[in-house]
Amino acid sequence: MTIQWTDTPESTLRAGDVEIEYACWGASPDTAPTLVLLHEGLGSVGQWKGFPRALAETTGFGVFAYSRAGYGGSDPVSLPRPLDYMTREAIENLGPVLDAAGIQQTILLGHSDGATIAAIYAGSVADMRVRGLILIAPHFFTEPGGLAAIKEAGEAYSDGDLKPRLEKYHNHVDVAFYGWHDVWTDPAFTSWNVADAIDHWRIPVLAIQGRDDAYGTLAQISEIEARIYSPVETLILPDCGHAPHLEREAETLAGVTEFCTRLRRLEQEVVSLD
């Protein structure tokens, strides 16, 4: 293991030329599989709140969360971000973070942008460490309602209380916000589509979506079901918006725990040759 396995908020690791904020809970990678958490487009380690610790307790897995460059306490990035920033994050940056953290066997758990990054990684990189995907409110293509909600977030950031709320979690808050907002509101981004990543998955998937998510509809989940070749389970939560792990934590935690437990049991089964 190449890092200290600790939930100390100030902990950092170096991935390439970037200093990355991280925290961990539960079993270390040399003793159990690891759930690697990839945050949303305005997220960070701290914004997972109590969910990582609860995951470690209910699954018996280790949990590793990190703030991508430009977020939380990690190094900033240059703006504007490229329109394919999620693909670049998956292809160029996620692997080195897993290496630096000493991850040996993992289920990638992503929320929103983080779910998309996990999805692209699983469909683009041959990494035998990745044994499953848990995608919370994933995006594979843009939808008019989601784009409108992001424009509203821009108004809340410039004229409302969103900026001071985000400043609690991000050392470079303008980089975090505009790096996300300005890509999604770029007119050229309306044609963005990475759904072909689904075609290349060969691992079990759990997809979780709130029915009242302002940033994406059940069309994102339907796209998975229409294209996937590997086993998929879905958890659709009523009266739930964009953050099921915070808004409906008990149901989300139960669904994730059941998925992880079943996947681990299947991998540990001894196949009889008789």
Instruction: Tell me the mean pLDDT in the region 138-142.
Output: 98
| Euclidean distance between CA atoms 236 and 219, whole angstroms | 12
pLDDT surpasses 80 at 54: yes
CA angle at residue 241 from 238 to 243, to 5 degrees? Answer: 115
The tally of domains found in the chain comes to 1
- Give me the amino acid identity at 267: E
Tell me what pLDDT residue 273 has: 53
Tell whether 272 is covered by a domain.
no
pLDDT surpasses 70 at 270: no
- Quick: pLDDT tens for 197-245: 999 999 999 999 999 999 999 999 999 999 999 999 999 999 999 999 9
Query: Is 0.85 surpassed by the pTM of this model?
Result: yes
The CATH number of the domain holding residue 201 is 3.40.50.1820
Question: 143 is in which domain, residue-wise?
Answer: 12-267
Tell whether 125 is covered by a domain.
yes
Confidence of residue 10 (pLDDT cuts 50, 70, 90): confident
Tell whether 6 is covered by a domain.
no
Instruction: Tell me the mean pLDDT in the region 139-154.
Output: 98
Instruction: Tell me the mean pLDDT in the region 153-176.
Output: 97
Tell whether 4 is covered by a domain.
no
Tell me what pLDDT residue 269 has: 76
CA 187 to chain centre: 25
Q: Beta-carbon neighbour count of residue 201 at 10 Å?
A: 21
Tell me what pLDDT residue 131 has: 97
Tell whether 192 is covered by a domain.
yes
| Euclidean distance between CA atoms 191 and 46, whole angstroms | 32
Tell whether 273 is covered by a domain.
no
Tell whether 256 is covered by a domain.
yes
Average pLDDT, the chain: 95
Tell whether 135 is covered by a domain.
yes
